Structure 1
């Protein structure tokens, strides 16, 4: 009797001939490149360094497209965005020590946002592993240890025969739900040495599926079918799983209002009768969700932002669908379903009963009216004018990437993304400098649409070197820089908390002149002219910079709180 697992794929005659007669002059770097190509990679990001030169030489002799950025962290952000847009694992090529460590904030963001990034890094020669014996440049006692707490998995290579399997395992890990960044480490001598191994042709690494357990979805379907006031929180897991269509079907069948988290922007239609939009940082919305007798949370860990700074205390039953096991019931007791969002929503669609509830759209309208009245009472006309101008200028299908800046905080709540996987921000880990290099990665992934990046002047200073990258590759990215003379978010936080600021004010360049020095067109605009200037820049091919001098303010998320309550952390928002 033959079992499926006994079957072995036999090489064709051509494969056998090629295996027995590999072309001369190949190295360990070629094994990396051949494995990536065999897995389906077409583009790599990175920055060369001394120990990684054998890898970069192999890339230069291959059909892979290399996109080089000026700072490793920015290369990581670009790979992150490429992975989000394409759904593929984005190779990120790095060199040892300082180069590798500089990528850590980008890999942290990719981990927080479940972006599939395949980081491949060089290491000192094998004779120097362990540190101290040879004193190699860039040497660390245990380089991989610096990444274990950040990435999803670590794969160390010590011989050429390990390269294809290690990269395939890392690729599979990056693309298995929850997606995330992974780390592969290869010593310099392994990359540089000639290889007698055959050309890599038979490699695959299909990601494992993560289906829900049927007994759990049966209980969840029963709870939702019998609920009187069901509601849904949709997080980034819905977007990563490409499950927005199934979410819409389920919400309509259950007549359940849906709010999206900052990471879940666009997962549910903004103007749908059941859409609570994204006003998750709002006390009225928090009250509405707390009042649900059954709350379905899909693809969100209900962390700080998604729980309105941990002021959310549900009174009904919570059902949590989450692919990241560590986030399951990490903040609230729930019927925890460890599963990919798409597969779990499909299981619920097959088992829930349709509810009849004519009151849900009216309750949604009432809530949105309360939110609008609260914002109107805060006299934040300029902020709403600027955000509306951005939305007017940006084509509906164009993606946008937002740095940690006041306008992004507004966008988390008030910006219509016009669809899933179109609005991205650094809210996962919260580091500065994400917006522009991430937008460059998105433009590489899909050159058919313009891409918008939004930064404050503080975050922009992290990324100005990438104006050279934008020009070198002629990437169709428009960079909006809101120049308020410092770290605007921190300015507000410190003023509220301490009555004064320290370290928040910045001397900064003339961003228009700076852009033009890189050969990138720049324009200084005003709130009144922003929509027209931004639309013109987005319509023009190639990179451009639009600078808006403006001091924006954060909105307060609370309505009148009981006198005994302390303000929530981050309540300046």
Structure 2
């Protein structure tokens, strides 16, 4: 009897030929590059460094496309976005010590947002490992320890024969739900020594699926089918699992209103009669959610932003579908279903009974009307016009990447993403500097659409060096910089809390002149000219910068009654 897996293990004639007759000049770095190619990687991000030179030399002999950024954290943000857009593990090549540590904030964001990033770092030579202090350049007592609390898994290599399996294992970990960043580290001398392992040609991996337990979906389906006022909260897990169509089918079958979290933007059609949109930081929405007798939470841990700063006090039963076991019932007791959102929604679709509720669309319209009235009373026309101009200029299906700035806070609640997996921000971990380098990664992933990055002037200075990257690789990214003279959102927070801000005002460059010094076209716009200027920049090939001098205000705190 022949088993399928026996056939997989037999080398093909081409694999045998490559193994027996390897090309000359290979070293350990080639094993890294060959393994990545065999797993299906086509693009890698990173920065070279002294201990990692073996990997970068091997890139020269490979077909992998290398996108080199100027700061490791920005390279991590680019890989994060590439992983979100493609659903594939994005290789991130780093060097030892300072280079590795500089990527930590980006890897934290990737973990929070479930973005599959495969970070591969060099290490000091093997003689320097094991806790001693040999005085090597970039040496850390325990480099991997700095990453264990950030990434999904850590994989260490001490010999060339371990490289293919360690990288394949890490790749599988990154793509097993919940997706996330993983860490592989390889000593310098292992990377630079002549290759003693045949050419790597076989690299199939099979990430594990995470189906729901049937007894749990049976109870959940019964609860939702019998509910009088079911409501759905759709989080980023719906987007990551590509489950938006199934979410819509279930919502329509249950006649259940849907609100999307800030990470779940685009998971449900904005103008659908059952769409509560994304006004989670609004007491009217919070009241509506609290009144639900059955609340289905899909792909969200109901964290700070998704629970209106933990003021959300549900009165009904919660069914929570979550792939990250640590987030299951972490904030509210629920019928917790540890599962991939797509598989769990499919199971519910097969078991729920169709509900009839002609009042649901009217109840949704009532809530949205109250939200609009509250915002309208605050005289925030400028902010709403600026956001509308961005939406008007951005082509359908074009992705956007948003830094932590006032306009982004508006966009979380009020921006129509128009499609799933098109609007991304750093709200997972909340670090500055995400928007522009992430947009570069998205442009590398899909050059068929222009990509928009949105930053404030404070966040822009975190990643301004990547204008050189945008120009070097001619990436189709338009960067909108809202220049308000400082850290605008922190200015508002401090003024509200303490009466006046401290440390929020910034000296900054002429961003248009700075962009042009990199060979990137720049234009200074106004709120009235924004839509036309932004549309023109997005339509032009290659990178561009649009600077909007404007002080935008946030809407009033909405977790208050």
**TM-score category (smaller protein):** over 0.9
Q: Quote the residue 2:83 is aligned against.
A: 83
Q: Is the 8 A contact 1:283 1:557 kept in 2?
A: no
Is the contact made by 1:22 and 1:196 (CA closer than 8 Å) also made in structure 2? Answer: no
- 1:115 deviates by 0.3
Q: 1:304 corresponds to which residue?
A: 304
Count how many residue pairs are aligned between Structure 1 and Structure 2.
561
Report if the CA contact (8 A) 2:311-2:559 is conserved.
no
Alpha-carbon distance between aligned partners in 2 of 1:475 and 1:489, rounded to the nearest angstrom:
29
Deviations 1:217-262 (A, max 9, x none): 0000000000000000000000000000000000000000000000
Asked whether the equivalents of residues 282 and 308 of structure 2 are also in contact (C-alpha less than 8 Å), the reply is yes
Q: In structure 2, how many angstroms separate the alpha carbons of the residues matched to 1:529 and 1:5?
A: 62
Q: Deviations over 1:485-513 (max 9, x none)?
A: 00001101101111111100000000000
- 1:466 maps to what in 2? 466
Contact 1:131 1:139 in 2 (8 A): no
Give 1:11 shift. Answer: 1.9
Corresponding residue of 1:570: none
> In the aligned structure 1, how far is the partner of 2:14 from the partner of 2:99?
41
Aligned equivalents of 1:226 and 1:509: distance in 2? 60
- Who is 1:175 aligned against? 175
Instruction: Classify the secondary structure of the residue corresponding to 1:304.
Output: coil
1:110 corresponds to: 110
Note if contact 2:281-2:305 (Cα within 8 Å) is conserved in structure 1.
yes
Per the alignment, do residues 198 and 507 of structure 1 end up closer, same or farther by CA in structure 2, a change over 3 Å counting?
same
Structure 2 spans left out of the alignment, 5+ residues: none
For residues 128-168 of structure 1, the C-alpha deviation after alignment (integer angstroms, 9 at most, x for no partner) is 11354420000000000000000000000000000000000
Alignment of 1:41-190 (within 5 A): 41-190=41-190
Partner of residue 422, structure 2: 422
The offset of 1:386, in angstroms, is 0.4
Report 1:139-288 matches (<5 A).
139-288=139-288
**Alignment check: 8 A CA contact 1:50 1:95 kept:** yes
Question: Secondary structure, in 3 states, of the residue corresponding to 2:59?
Answer: helix
Q: Closer, same or farther in 2 for the Cα pair 1:560/1:37, shift >3 Å?
A: closer
**Residue 422 to residue 14, structure 1, CA distance change in 2 (3 Å):** closer
How far, CA to CA, are the matches of 1:44 and 1:485 in structure 2? Answer: 35
1:455 corresponds to: 455
Give the aligned partner of residue 567 of structure 1.
Answer: none
Q: Shift of residue 474 of structure 1?
A: 0.6
> How far apart, CA to CA, are the structure 2 residues paired with 1:8 and 1:376?
63
User: How far apart are residue 12 of structure 1 and its match?
Assistant: 2.9
1:475 aligns with 2:471: no
Aligned residue in 2 for 1:555? 555
CA apart distance, 1:3: 6.7
User: After alignment, is 425-434 or 548-557 more displaced?
Assistant: 548-557
SS at 2:463 equivalent: coil
Q: Is residue 2:13 matched to residue 1:29?
A: no
Kindly indicate whether the alpha-carbon contact (under 8 Å) linking 2:82 and 2:441 is maintained by their aligned counterparts in 1.
Answer: yes
Deviation track 1:169-210 (CA, whole Å, cap 9, x = no partner) reads 000000010000000000000000001211111221111100
More deviation in 399-408 or 131-140?
131-140
Q: 1:560 to 1:338 in 2, by over 3 A?
A: closer
Deviations 1:443-499 (A, max 9, x none): 000001000000000000001100000000111100000000000011011011111
Is contact 1:28-1:191 (8 Å) kept?
yes
1:331 matched residue in structure 2 = 331
> What's the secondary structure of 2:384's corresponding residue?
helix
C-alpha contact (below 8 Å) 1:22/1:197 kept by paired residues: no
Which residue of the partner structure matches residue 294 of structure 1? 294
* Distance (Å, rounded) in 1 between the aligned partners of 2:186 and 2:489: 41
1 CA distance for matches of 2:243 and 2:78? 24
Displacement of 1:22: 1.9
CA shift at 1:6, angstroms? 6.8
- By how many angstroms is 1:13 displaced? 3.6
Residue 318 (1) aligns with residue 318 (2): yes
Match of 1:455, SS? strand
